[in-house]
Structure 1
């Protein structure tokens, strides 16, 4: 398997940051393979989360939760 050779090559190098990254990938290898091989995507949900985070950052220390809620609901309705 080509991925095993790549992992072995990274672990043989003297790059601690890549060692940590590869170790994390190996711990969640089933999830990584499923994410790369299945046709399902959570892209739409991530897009909505991103919009809400942007709104929250724009309104930081400017308004209360009620106004933030109204803006989130208005944005989710398709209007910007």
Structure 2
């Protein structure tokens, strides 16, 4: 049983077919994974059918959380603000005309 071709085609119907076949696999973790995918089938189908990704947003959130953890107990609000704002598009773009 192969998993790659179903994701390469970006077709949720093929992915659903793989899930249906995987539920009857002899390998327990594959069966468990297939049932987990089936529970959230609408999100899985949307991920297969659309090219939209939230990776950029998640990356920025992780960066902010890391800075917050590093600054915990070190200073007030000014130091974390100074570390976050240089990366802000509003700060790097300059003043509005």
Alpha-carbon separation, structure 1, partners of 2:58 and 2:71: 20
Under a length normalisation based on structure 2, what TM-score does the superposition of the two structures give? Answer: 0.57
Q: Which one of the candidate residues 9, 18, 30 is aligned to 1:2?
A: 18
Name the count of aligned residue pairs.
Answer: 74
Under a length normalisation based on structure 1, what TM-score does the superposition of the two structures give? Answer: 0.65
The structure with more radius of gyration: 2
Is the contact made by 1:48 and 1:76 (CA closer than 8 Å) also made in structure 2? no
Shift of 1:29: 0.8
Gaps of 5+ in 2: 1-16, 93-97
Gaps of 5+ in 1: none
Q: Which has the higher contact order (CA 8 A, sep 6+)?
A: 2
